[in-house]
Structure 1
Amino acid sequence: MDQPSNSIARTLALICTKAAKPAMEVYGEDFTPGQKADRSPVTEADRRAEMVILEMLNRLFPGVPVMAEEQMSNGIGCNTSGDFFLVDPIDGTKEFIKKNGEFTINIGLIHERKPVAGCVYAPALGRIYLGGESAFAADLPPGAPFDPSVLTPIATRAPPTMGLTAVMSRSHFDPETQDFVDTHNIIEKISVGSSLKFCWLAEGRADVYPRFAPTMEWDTAAGHAVLNAAGGCLATPEGGNFLYAKEESRYLNGHFVGWARRPG
């Protein structure tokens, strides 16, 4: 794709804000969540937001394949041999159901198995994050038009000498995560839902995000793009590259650690 990554990220931000409208309509209602075949929760917001995203991506980026979570749950994939988009219309469905605001709308562009542009929008919290060549964020209440002029550059922070702040999943904490905490200089743990964990690293609010519970590629692509653009990285626990288009694993991610700054 020949567009600059920052320009692509701004277009993805526009799409995310449009998808937020039906998501927030459902969020404001009394709704009953459903359940997918893998027993994970799903709401009407997932389906409605994904429809908006798919229509706009197909119109604004014709010919670029799209892998979207709800389509994948229905057995509809895409060609991942070249550039493609990864879409999670509602990341943090459990947070959406709890109505704690910590859910996000996510679109990431993959090029050569790495994320090169992405947007994460948390409409209930009124905060949007973009990553391309650079990383940006802005306060953006639901329903407000996206205005690129209000974007502010963000960057990760250097590791504090006194110790690290770790962001953790609000819904998943396991023995492997505890082992990681015990063997690193972590002095504070913060629980937050969805891909906001990547964004908190990206804007200098935390230093590390260990994840040893299962995730899918669409869960991480947008946040990974924002984190990379802000100066951070996502790596395997051994320090290897974290790649996408993992057809052999049906796009299931392995364990990873998000770092505000690459260690060493």
Structure 2
Amino acid sequence: MNLGGTVHVNKKGFFVLLFCTIILFIYLYSHNGTEKVINRINLRKLLAVAVQAAENGGREVVEIRNNLKIESKGKTKEGANDSVTTADYKSHCVMLHNLKANFPTVQVISEESIECGDDYSSTGTMEFDGLIDEWVHEDNIRVWIDPLDATQEYTEKLYEYVTTMVCVAINGAPVIGVIHKPFLRTTSWAWVGKSNSFDAIKPREDNVLKFIVSRSHTGKVKEAINEAFKEKEVEIISAGGAGYKVLEVVNGKADAYLHVTAIKKWDICAGNAILNALGGRMTTKQNTVINYSDSDDVVNENGLIATLKNHQYYVDKLK
């Protein structure tokens, strides 16, 4: 037996083996041979684009404020006018373009649904280089945007309440939240389990319970608070915009944000993510976690309670 003989490589066999290896590789990275399953999104980069989108949308909101066309979508259940403006539409198109230009396959759910052209540019990008990459399959991601929160207050020139918001939900859970105040040029963001833009959070330590509620969708919220906390000293603050109200809770200006009627999920998703990241909670009045996975289920019908601490206390009192 000649164990030291020369091994001859069959070129035809080699190429057949190489071809089979390539086919196997394609199969392993596909489903039924056609549908891609390895199509992952970098959440660190998505956060950067979300901040960019919110800020660029905010620029449109500021620039167009003195040249508005105001329309009405009708009335809310509480009888308030549901306004929409050219600023809502312009901001929507800019934000949608920013997101789709970078992540064309990600599903984006917006308050507005108009067709947008292609003449929208993107400016400025934060890189977040200090954060570690995390990859998630695109099918598990929903991006919720509110191009102009507090539209009614915007038309009344109550600009302090106005925000633009982006939220990234993974498997229905809000994970990244961005709230931009365009007239103050400040942006707040948080990524659950990773990082956030906030300084040290100091929850209120006051004997007076402060609740922040909607100024235009109050429903029976004030009566509910006064009845549930009648043994406490209570202060009720009326304000516009769900994004603004969540930030007031985060910044220690209110103990809880309470809403007792229906509210759209693009209004609350970003704030929900921020509270989750900071150890707070946002739930329905029944203490049910709000799910953001279904693009056809855009309304939270069961009110909400948003707090930075002692969430169960408020849920129990408001039952």
* Same topology, TM > 0.5: yes
Alignment of 1:154-233 (within 5 A): 154-155=200-201, 157=203, 160=205, 162-184=207-229, 185=232, 187-194=234-241, 195-233=243-281
Residue 19 of structure 1 corresponds to which residue in structure 2?
57
In 1, the alpha carbon distance for the partners of 2:148 and 2:246 equals 15
Q: Does the residue aligned with 2:238 lie in a helix, a strand or coil?
A: strand
Whichever of the two has the greater Rg, that structure is: 2
Q: Measure, in 1, the Cα distance between the counterparts of 2:220 and 2:114.
A: 30
Segment of structure 1 superposing worse, 224-233 or 185-194: 185-194
Give unmatched runs, 5+ long, in structure 2: 1-39, 76-80, 116-137, 314-319
Alignment of 1:16-95 (within 5 A): 16-27=54-65, 29-36=66-73, 40-71=82-113, 82-95=140-153
Which residue number in structure 1 is paired with residue 164 of structure 2? 105
* Change in 2 beyond 3 A, CA 1:3/1:178: farther
Deviation at 1:117, TM superposition (A): 0.3
Q: After superposition, give the CA deviation of every residue in 1:49-75 in whole Å (9 maximum; x if it has no partner).
A: 1111111101222311101111189xx
Q: Tell me: higher relative CO, structure 1 or 2? Use CA pairs within 8 A at least 6 residues apart.
A: 1
Per the TM alignment, residue 243 of structure 1 is displaced from its structure 2 partner at its CA by 1.8
- Structure 1 pair 161–46 and aligned structure 2 pair: CA distance change class (3 A): closer
Counterpart position of 1:147: none
Q: Secondary structure at the match of 2:253?
A: coil
TM-score by length of 2: 0.68
Aligned to 2:289: 241
Contact 1:132/1:229 (CA < 8 Å) preserved in 2?
yes
1:129-151 per-residue CA deviation (whole Å, 9 max, x = no partner) reads: 11113332xxxxxxxxxxxxxxx
Structure 1 residue runs of 4 or more that deviate by more than 6 Å after TM superposition: none
Counterpart residue number, 2:42: 3
Tell me which amino acid in the other structure corresponds to 1:252.
Answer: V
How many angstroms apart in 2 are the aligned matches of 1:216 and 1:161? 31
Partners of 1:116 and 1:257 in 2: CA distance: 18
1:128 aligns with 2:187: yes
Look up the equivalent residue of 1:238 and give its one-letter code.
Q
Structure 2 counterpart of 1:50, one-letter code: H
Quote the Cα distance in structure 2 between the aligned partners of 1:47 and 1:130.
23
Q: Deviations over 1:93-112 (max 9, x none)?
A: 00110111111101101111
Please provide the CA RMSD for this pair.
Answer: 2.6
- Quickly say closer, same or farther: Cα 1:72–1:242, change in 2 above 3 A: farther
Letter in 1 for 2:52: L
Runs of 5+ in structure 1 lacking a partner?
74-79, 137-151
Distance of 1:228 and 1:10 partners within structure 2: 19
Q: In the alignment, residue 197 of structure 1 is paired with which amino acid? A: K
